[in-house]
Amino acid sequence: MTVATLSRGVDVRARKVIESGALSFGGGELVVIAGPCAVEDEETLLEVALGVRAAGARALRGGAYKPRSSPHSFQGLGRPGLKMLKDVAAAAGLAVVTEVLDTRDVEIVSEVADILQIGSRNMQNTALLKEAGRAQRPVLLKRGMSSTIEEWLLAAEYVRASGNEQVILCERGIRTFETATRNTLDLSAVSLLKELGDLPVIVDPSHATGLKELVPPMSRAAVAAGADGLLIEVHPRPEQALCDGQQSLTLSEFRLLMAQVTQLAAYTRQFSY
């Protein structure tokens, strides 16, 4: 499926519903994935997991491998971080969504992740896309920060052509001339892909805006645009977070957001896209 084929439209029956355990993307439910930017330590992770679970999140996010702009920034805990994710998610009753950066790690990350995240910086890493295509896990494919919708769909096609049809697209903002926000959230891409594409689409307002004040309004806008889910950064003490604290919600802010988007999803789902 590329933009050229998009213009022909997709039969509504051909739209994919992607299941992962009890989670279902693209079937009408709003699936919220929440957690810290990075796995930092087990206590903090458990605090976030129990908090977001109580608020209605279905999956725990958190990077054990972090694609940082600087090699001198915190790179993630690696394997010990994966183990923390596994233990904490099991204790909290949440699925795990975590990023894989390297083809050599797809197997070990797949042992812990219910959904494999491929980040914006790796959207065109074709070796990684093909390896994820051989994994028996749904792939959450973030949009490259400077990628067109066509390039994004072709990246998804790499995963699909390698044998894995389970792809969830994640809009996380693109680079534009605007610098007041971290990226520019392209919500029209969400509605376009929901209208004409066959894959579920979720939105990450945290990386899209870089500002926690903008996460609630952009989450509400994403739901209104037809998003199948949200990926939200949450930290119990954002000022102490090892990365992306400025865009992380506290647990009480996240609870409020969940109440809003749950209500809004029930209302907006009556519209057909």
The contact set with ligand PEP (CB under 6 A) reads 37, 63, 67, 99, 119-121, 142, 172, 204, 207
Q: Which is nearer to Mn ion, 16 or 66 (CB)?
A: 66
* Per rule CB under 5 A, count of chain residues that contact Mn ion: 2
**In the complex, least distance from residue 161 CB atom to Mn ion, rounded to whole angstroms:** 29
The site partner of 120 among Mn ion, ligand PEP, none (C-beta below 5 to 8 Å per kind) is: ligand PEP
Of the pair 154, 203, the CB lying nearest ligand PEP is at 203
d(C-alpha 216, C-alpha 91), whole Å:
28
Nearest residue (CB) to ligand PEP, 138 versus 259 = 138
* Number of Cβ atoms within 10 Å of the Cβ of 80: 13
Nearest distance in Å: CB 153, ligand PEP: 17
Closer residue to Mn ion (CB): 228 or 244: 244
Binding Mn ion (rule: CB under 5 A), the pick from 244, 257, 258, 261 is: 244
Shortest distance in whole angstroms from residue 51 CB to ligand PEP: 19
Other CB atoms within a 10 A radius of the CB of residue 195 amount to 13
- Find which of ligand PEP, Mn ion, none residue 119 binds, CB within 5 to 8 Å per kind: ligand PEP
Q: Which does 105 bind (CB under 5 to 8 A by kind): ligand PEP, Mn ion, none?
A: none
Q: Is 37 in the site for Mn ion (CB under 5 A)?
A: yes
Shortest spacing between CB 63 and Mn ion, in angstroms: 7
Tokens of 150: 């066509």
> For residues 10 and 108, which CB has a smaller minimum distance to ligand PEP in the complex?
108
If one asks whether residue 204 binds Mn ion (CB under 5 A), the answer comes out as: no
| Residues near Mn ion, by CB under 5 A | 37, 244
